[in-house]
Amino acid sequence: MLWRMWVDEVELELEAGRGGDGCVSFRREKFVEFGGPDGGDGGCGGNILFRASRHLRSLSHLSSIRRIEAGGGASGRPRNRTGRRGKDRILEVPCGTVVREADHGRVLADLFEEGETLVVARGGKGGKGNAAFATPTRRAPRQRGLGQAGERVRVRLEVRLIADVGLVGLPNAGKSTLLSRISAARPRVAPYPFTTRQPELGVVEWKGETFTVADLPGLIEGAHTGKGLGLRFLRHIERTRLLLHLVDGSLPDPERNYRLIRKELEEYPGDTVRKPEMVVITKSDLGFARPRLDAALMEISAVTGEGIESLLDHLIAKLKELPAPEPYPAEGIVVPVSGASPERGAEPIEVEKVEEGIYELKSAAVRRYLEKYDPGDLEGWRRFWRFLERIGAVDELRGAGVRDGETVIVEGREMEYFE
């Protein structure tokens, strides 16, 4: 069996496909002396997308890749035939993957749920064929448009595990043994520290309720500064709704061991230390006389099963009181699995009829465009119109029944609609 390292962070350089060039061609047909232009448009370049999949837990399948390109669009062809569109590259990542800009750290998306898709790099638009440049006074244009380059972006992917319960504690506190006892997960178990080298997820089913538990590699003193394995895996605690703190009852000073882990959580940036917590003494089957730990809820033995049923009852009752985790605020365009096609603009576009002959167009993509570019002159408005065509807003206006000469309000600006 091939063993693959668990990878929770990678950096990639992405380049979407280039659009195809337009075609210069003229109609050639018997008995037609002056055939008009019939050069077709080039196809759009392919997009690069990330899609969340619950079947993946690691980014190991992307760890050896540094650069990814999407397919380029084909050039236009005679007889007004549009070139083939470039093939999209759809890269599957685990649910809970945070996509950031590599240079600035800006969060583009938090792919939280199964099927969510991020269009991270858009393909270039295809160039116009010479048929598009024909006018009543210019009947045989030899002009064509060249395909635009696709977007290029460097991103960093970070997996943040999504679990209801996170197991924390010193190495060899019994976390893996407990997970194997209450779920079908089979983490490595051995009587020495740092047996767990990577997070393990298990699904627990108890009395008709289901929840997920994450077994995180053991923390040690100084974990927040990078000692041991703690710094690498502490961020996975951020997603958990409840911390289950396991303290080894066979050690002489459980109070000190408990405080040590609490100190590491306090030193770690963020709100991890304020997460709800349940403290449990483990290895009760060893029968050692141990000092009292006031914070402990109960004592259990994952080996004999002592206290396990009571623990599960407490966990379920506590989880019912806690809110579900939420994704990080993001600035990218995330499409639900049942959402719009990423080929024609992934952000929602709304057209609302204000009154007879007046409509309002609402779109976050349009708002960002107008914040960056002022249409100004006639040519600027033409460029803005082409942008509306590219993201699918014109199709939405047509579908809403907007007719020539009617008014469309866009971010407080009024424009007269003409095909």
The model's pTM: 0.66
Q: Are residues 154 and 170 in the same domain?
A: no
CATH of residue 137's domain is 2.70.210.12
Q: Between β-strands 117-121 and 48-53, what pairing exists: parallel, antiparallel or unpaired?
A: antiparallel
CATH of residue 355's domain is 3.30.300.350
Confidence bin at 170 (pLDDT 50/70/90)? confident
How far apart CA 130 and CA 386 sit, in angstroms, is: 17
CATH of residue 292's domain is 3.40.50.300
Q: What does 337-374 look like in DSSP terms, one character per residue?
A: TTS--GGG--S--EEEEEETTEEEEE-HHHHHHHHH--
Q: Are residues 17 and 84 in the same domain?
A: yes
Q: Are residues 145 and 197 in the same domain?
A: no
How far apart CA 402 and CA 331 sit, in angstroms, is: 30
Confidence bin at 415 (pLDDT 50/70/90)? confident
Q: Which residue type does 386 have?
A: R
Q: How does DSSP classify residue 224?
A: G
What is the pLDDT, as a whole number, of residue 198?
A: 65
Task: State the average pLDDT for the chain.
Answer: 81
Could you tell me the residue range of the domain that residue 401 belongs to? 347-416
Q: Are residues 191 and 222 in the same domain?
A: yes
Closest to 195 (Cα-Cα) out of 210, 178, 208: 178
Q: Are residues 147 and 176 in the same domain?
A: no
Q: How does DSSP classify residue 85?
A: P
Task: Indicate whether 348 pLDDT > 80.
Answer: no
What is the pLDDT, as a whole number, of residue 397?
A: 84
Q: Are residues 171 and 283 in the same domain?
A: yes
Most confident of 271-280, 291-300, 305-314, 341-350: 305-314
Q: What are the pLDDT digits (tens) for 203-255?
A: 899 999 999 998 877 565 554 444 445 556 677 777 889 999 999 888 888 88
Q: What mean pLDDT comes out for the span 178-194?
A: 65
Q: What are the pLDDT digits (tens) for 33-48?
A: 778 899 999 999 999 9
Q: What mean pLDDT comes out for the span 379-398?
A: 78
Q: Are residues 284 and 357 in the same domain?
A: no
Q: What are the pLDDT digits (tens) for 63-76?
A: 889 999 999 999 99
Q: Are residues 374 and 297 in the same domain?
A: no
Task: Indicate whether 192 pLDDT > 50.
Answer: no
Q: Are residues 100 and 144 in the same domain?
A: yes
- Sheet containing strand 413-416, strands side by side: 350-355, 358-362, 407-410, 413-416
130 Cα distance to chain centroid: 40
- The answer to whether the CB of 368 falls within 8 A of the CB of 377 is no
Q: Are residues 31 and 95 in the same domain?
A: yes
Q: What does 177-205 look like in DSSP terms, one character per residue?
A: HHHHHHSS------SSTT---S-EEEEEE
Where among 310, 339, 368 does a domain terminate? 339
What is the pLDDT, as a whole number, of residue 100?
A: 92
Q: Are residues 15 and 115 in the same domain?
A: yes
377 CB-near residues (< 8 Å, 6+ apart): none
Number of domains comprising the chain: 3
Supply 382's token pair. 């033409």
How far apart CA 51 and CA 95 sit, in angstroms, is: 9
Task: Indicate whether 172 pLDDT > 50.
Answer: yes
Q: Are residues 172 and 150 in the same domain?
A: no
Q: 3-state DSSP call for residue 238?
A: helix
Q: 3-state DSSP call for residue 9?
A: strand
Closest to 102 (Cα-Cα) out of 49, 65, 156: 156
